[in-house]
Amino acid sequence: MLPLAAKLFVQLTKIPSPSGKEVLLRNFLLIYFRKYSITCRTDRVGNLIAKLPGRGRPLILNSHLDTVNPCVGIKTQIKNGIIRSKGDTILGADDKAGVASILALITKLIEEKLQHRPLELIFSVQEEVGCLGTKRLEYKLIRGRQAVVIDRSASVNSITLSASFINRVEIICRGRAAHIVRSNEGINAITILASFINQINKKITKGSISSIGLINGGSVFNVVPEKAMAVGEIRALKRMNLKKELKRWQSLANQIAKKQGGKIILKSELLIQGYSIKKDNAFVKTVSKSIMRAGFSTVYSAALGASDANVFNQHGIVAIPIGQGRTGAHSLKEAIPIQAFIDTEKILINLVTNIQ
């Protein structure tokens, strides 16, 4: 028989919740909480916040409601203790496994009348599209200064101590239009962009990663194009390395424009703030102790991806993502072992009943 968290998870996979359309899943949770008389409210952007009174310092538990696509019509299959989709959709363990684990946890706390810390459950929306839900969360509604974010493709005993700064960069190249028969009078914006992309990938600042993901240019095939643009991203665990890489992009842009004529304009925007928490932080120690009491040794890691933890940390909340044992997030091969739900429950029970 499946443990409650896994059972709930399979149930949640049947409720589609793409980013921005989390309403059905949120309604399921509202009904669940009502059954246990838990106070909850939906904020102005659709985040669901539920509170359970308890003893000691309040603790935030967070998972996000949205999933990436394709997420409609998910059919699960269980083989050798591992839950997967049938292969034509994602599974949605990112992050419905987190949601299910929190629901199973509070069910156990209530049914077994266990003493626990005051809990603030935050189920955020639109995490997958730039943590928009937590960016616009009404922080005045939240008392806790410590959070565990259950949303990470890593083993259940892992704690993510740092995560990336993420910077979006728009590269706009301007040349001079000319008909193909007078092409020597024109400056080809696509050629300028091509040189830039070619150079950018040759050498990347240590401690950062960059990539161009979108490209667009020209208007007609027989005219030297006046405009071309691309959009890329730079990620780095340290702000300093992000700045260095951006500086390198700018100086390359200047060099290429000088050599080939035309212009390269870079428009840069910091999408996500990075964070870094020390291993000897009191809350890190508390979470680590909960992992060890569940029979594991703690693994500390850094993430080049971002999560709602980035945004919480920016708002002065010490937020620690923990692993869920899931693999293949954002792909049709996404999978999660049933054992991961059992282990996560042990860790979470240890954490919330450790009154401080």
| Residues making contact with Zn ion (CB under 5 A) | 94-95, 151
* Direct distance between the N- and C-terminal alpha carbons of the chain, in angstroms, rounded to an integer: 35
String of DSSP letters for 275-343: EE--TT-HHHHHHHHHHHHTT---EEEEESS--HHHHHHHTT-EEEEE--S-B-TTSTT-EEEHHHHHH
Smallest separation, CB 68 to Zn ion (Å):
9
- Of the pair 94, 343, the CB lying nearest Zn ion is at 94
- Of the pair 109, 137, the CB lying nearest Zn ion is at 137
- Of the pair 95, 226, the CB lying nearest Zn ion is at 95
Strands annotated E in the chain: 39-42, 48-52, 59-64, 76-79, 82-85, 119-124, 146-150, 158-163, 165-174, 178-179, 208-217, 223-224, 227-236, 263-272, 275-276, 299-303, 318-322, 335-337
Smallest separation, CB 307 to Zn ion (Å):
6
- Of the pair 94, 334, the CB lying nearest Zn ion is at 94
Contact (CB, 8 A) for 148 and 312: no
Give the number of other CB atoms < 10 A from CB of residue 1: 5
Smallest separation, CB 336 to Zn ion (Å):
13
- Of the pair 5, 192, the CB lying nearest Zn ion is at 5
Smallest separation, CB 304 to Zn ion (Å):
14
Smallest separation, CB 15 to Zn ion (Å):
16
- Of the pair 17, 290, the CB lying nearest Zn ion is at 17
Smallest separation, CB 35 to Zn ion (Å):
26
